[in-house]
Copies of this chain bind each other. A is one copy, B any other.
Amino acid sequence: MSTENATTTTLLSPQDLLKHWQGHRGLTRRVIEAFPEKELFEYTIGGMRTFAQLVMEIIDLTGPGAKGLATDDWGPKDMPHITGNNMPVTKAELLERWDDTTTELETYWPQIDDFEKSIIAFGQYPGTALSMALYFIDNEIHHRGQGYVYLRGLGIEPPFFWDRP
């Protein structure tokens, strides 16, 4: 049909998607910073994980995930967010891991040579490189949104959701 999305056939380059993700990552970092030290590791609602644990999941998916998408080496399966071992115990440590992950993402993302290729992420989740990258990003937004509720539950105003320069 002539009216169907006539002039644009493709939307995003890999670089565009990385930039979009990095905007989200900057916001998530500010949400981590907004938590008081103690509550970051202890506060929960309804039996959920702490925000530190949710963030560790994001870290575990982002760094090793980008590496896996680029190299098909998905690393060890006993990641901190699964085993609880090797977890950071201070906000400063968590932020340091966060920043190391940013470096990993920036290193490996440009090496992903085909976003349509079939992969089995972490040896168990089938998809394409693109569907998995979108999953990682969506998962970050999802858990960060939960962090917003934790902050509100603690009486703390979260950063603006739309502020992702």
Contact = CB atoms under 8 A, between A and B. Distances in A.
A30 interface: no
A112 B109 CA distance: 30
Contacts of A47: 152
Given A142-B141, A142-B144, A161-B142, A48 B149 contact: yes
Interface stretch (A79-87, A94-102, A132-140): A132-140
Question: Interface residue tally of chain A, by bracket?
Answer: 35 or more
A154 B47 CA distance: 11
Contact of A11 (B4, B7, B10, B113): B10
A32 to B, nearest CB: 16
B12 A12 contact: yes
7 contacts: A5-B112, A9-B13, A11-B115, A141-B145, A142-B142, A142-B161, A146-B148
Interface of A: 1, 3-17, 20, 24, 45-48, 109-116, 130, 134-135, 138-139, 141-146, 148-155, 161-162
